[in-house]
Structure 1
Amino acid sequence: MASAAQGSLPRYVVQRLLLMIPMIWVVVTVVFLLLRVAPGDPVSASVGGRLSEEELDRRREALGIDRPLWQQYLEYLGDVARFRFGESLSDNRPITSIIIDNGGATLTLTLGAFLVALVIGIPLGLVAGRRRDSAADVGIRLFGITSYAVPVFVTGLVLVLLAGGTGWPTYDIASPITKFQVEPVTHILLVDALIAGDMGAVGDVLQHHVLPCLTLGLLLCGVFIRLVRVNLLMTMKGDYVEAARARGIPERYVVRRHAFRNALVPLITVLGLQVALTLAGAILTERTFNWPGLGTQLVDYLNARDYPAVQGLVTFFAVIVVVTSLIVDIVNALVDPRVRY
């Protein structure tokens, strides 16, 4: 009975929720301290030289950075708990508004990249695992290492050069006329185009998604190829696989129905671990293709030395990574009950 209680799903979910709180606290604390150790203050760094000293003092007072550090920290924690991430100094926009307006572009880019990685990485990993040490295995492993090692912006520039002479769109999330015609309802352009029933706009948005999603997806392909290959080789040595072979089941069914399914279980965990890598790659991908997402906004605010905006966006990214890790752990517990113990 004690073992069953210990391995129950509700108990595991509660434990993961409780662990998420200190994880978020540590992350937001590190972000807060790192930006506070930078020389100078955010107001002077962002708008210094363009305003009088009196106006600078008024802005420091409004932001609260003239107060003791511990008071700023407590106020910062309270704002994060209420999902308030501050306000930009350079354009006076609330960070929450920036997340709503630009988050949809980053969301579709990351989801598209994961789709590309799954569609390309899983089949190639399966082929490499089935044909170990063959020419196909060596070629696939070389492709996986290269796709992971090459900087994402280099891959993007190569794809832009290859597509430049074909007329394929290589710039922005959609053509200007599409962005003008589609009314923002969800702030996810592809979804808004579907809601409007404008299939021409849907096609235009999908075309603009191909190169950025392929660029970021190739970064993840190497991880998926290696993971599927290694786990397939391990599961092929399992007793249940040998038993299936002994029953006379054809090899292709043994691989597909027995070994391959179990080899995919660790992939669920890795999907959560790759969220941070995907967000980091999304920043470079967005800059390469002038993608109007949160990564582009973050780089712009870094260049403007807008520390409050940088703090808010980095904190939001960190919370997303922690929450995604929680979701993946719960899904993993549903698929594989052993992780609950």
Structure 2
Amino acid sequence: MELSSFILKRLILMVVVIFGVLIIVFVVTRIIPADPVGAILGGNAPPAAVDAMRHQLGLDKPIFMQLLDYLGGVLRGNFGNSLVSSRSVITDILEYLPATIELAISSIIFAVLLGTTLGLLSAVFRNRFIDHFSRVFSILGISLPGFWLGLILILFFYYRLGWLPSGGQYDMFLSPTRVTGLVLLDSVITGEWNVFFNAIKHLILPTFILGYSSTASIARIMRASMLDVLHQNYIRTARAKGLPKKTVILRHALRNALIPVVTIIGLEFGGLLSGAVLTETIFSWPGLGRYIVNSLLTLDYPAISGGTIFIALIYSVVNLVVDILYAALDPRMRA
């Protein structure tokens, strides 16, 4: 299959997935036993005011008509207005999204650097201390709940030692200049180095918590892939020629071992964007995940739907890019 045909097929599948997510999210938010009008007006609102609000929000229409109206709005780039902020949902999302992107990028960088290093060392020094340590580290990363580990680290590093802040993107008394919404990048652009180093301190704990499970997954895949490559015939040939061990591992084995790791890195990055909900809630991180949680608590249906669909869209795009890269590296995947 040609690469262009492969990309077209993946694009069609991505559209189908997004459409399915949109319908499921819309239906689920409408059938749950809760009334957003009551959450907005309160339980003692007069019936006339309740009926007027339901008509204003279009909730008095059959659910099928509500779905058609919502689909029409989404196709025009309109996800509706938030019931809490009264602003466009897209405006709210674009305000909260940079914080989530900053956290996800720092977490995937941490996961890739540590995960590939541990996986490489674990394969090269198989059945030695670093290998046992890497496997235990990976099992804990996959097994330990992130919210529990986050609370433990806050208790230790904030309450006991006082080394790191407990939450937020930066200290409350700071007023960084907003350019892109990415605090670290904005502080570098504007030369606000006090904000930069303060934001780094706030980023350490949530980055570790969000990236730990991804580190474990990458380390396991890297170890398995590296062990498989090290037993290939061309590696034996390279060793037989008398090439240094460092050259054989880094120049010949590492490149091929990284091919399956590329896939897991892309999927993990998409997962970090969607899985940041608990981490952002624990650390009071002003990102998209926390925005969705607050929307759930206030029954803000447009914000819930818009935020969830936006995360699904990002995940699908990342998945598409990973598929294209993998197909370009390994033409067998196009079949």
Q: Using structure 1 for the length normalisation, give the TM-score.
A: 0.91
Q: Does 1:177 align with 2:144?
A: no
Contact 1:100 1:187 in 2 (8 A): no
Q: Does 1:119 align with 2:113?
A: yes
Q: Does 1:20 align with 2:14?
A: yes
Between the aligned residues of both structures, percent identity stands at 36
1:203-242 equivalence runs, <5 A: 203-242=197-236
In structure 1, the residue corresponding to 2:173 is in which secondary structure?
A: helix
1:84-99 equivalence runs, <5 A: 84-99=78-93
The answer for the alignment partner of 1:311 in structure 2 is 305
User: Which stretch of structure 1 is more off in the superposition, 218-227 or 83-92?
Assistant: 83-92
The C-alpha deviation readout for 1:248-272, integer Å capped at 9, x for no partner, is 2122221211222111111121123
- Alignment partner of 1:190 out of 166, 184, 195: 184
Q: Does 1:328 align with 2:326?
A: no
For residues 235 and 82 of structure 1, the distance between their equivalents in structure 2, rounded to whole angstroms, comes to: 49
The answer for the alignment partner of 2:50 in structure 1 is 56
The answer for the alignment partner of 2:74 in structure 1 is 80
The answer for the alignment partner of 1:3 in structure 2 is none
> Are the structure 2 counterparts of residues 56 and 187 from structure 1 closer, same or farther at C-alpha, using a change threshold of 3 Å?
farther
For residues 226 and 16 of structure 2, the distance between their equivalents in structure 1, rounded to whole angstroms, comes to: 36
Matched AA of 2:24 = V
What's the CA shift for 1:113? Answer: 0.6
The C-alpha deviation readout for 1:217-262, integer Å capped at 9, x for no partner, is 1121110110000111111122221221222212222121122211
Matched AA of 2:178 = P
In structure 2, the residue corresponding to 1:105 is in which secondary structure?
A: helix
For residues 253 and 49 of structure 1, the distance between their equivalents in structure 2, rounded to whole angstroms, comes to: 72
The answer for the alignment partner of 2:164 in structure 1 is 168
The C-alpha deviation readout for 1:4-23, integer Å capped at 9, x for no partner, is xx33x222222221221111
What's the CA shift for 1:276? Answer: 4.8
The C-alpha deviation readout for 1:282-307, integer Å capped at 9, x for no partner, is 11111111111111111112122222
Matched AA of 1:135 = F
User: Which stretch of structure 1 is more off in the superposition, 40-49 or 207-216?
Assistant: 40-49
The C-alpha deviation readout for 1:105-160, integer Å capped at 9, x for no partner, is 11101111101111111100111111222232122101111012111122222222
- Alignment partner of 1:128 out of 122, 125, 137: 122
> How many correspondences in the alignment?
333
For residues 196 and 220 of structure 1, the distance between their equivalents in structure 2, rounded to whole angstroms, comes to: 32
The C-alpha deviation readout for 1:177-202, integer Å capped at 9, x for no partner, is 32x2x222222222222221212221
Q: Using structure 2 for the length normalisation, give the TM-score.
A: 0.93
Question: Gapped runs of 5+ residues in structure 2?
Answer: none
For residues 321 and 82 of structure 2, the distance between their equivalents in structure 1, rounded to whole angstroms, comes to: 30
- Alignment partner of 2:102 out of 97, 108, 115: 108
For residues 185 and 97 of structure 2, the distance between their equivalents in structure 1, rounded to whole angstroms, comes to: 13
- Alignment partner of 2:135 out of 120, 133, 141: 141
How large is the RMSD of aligned CA atoms in angstroms? 1.8
Matched AA of 1:316 = F
What's the CA shift for 1:173? Answer: 0.2
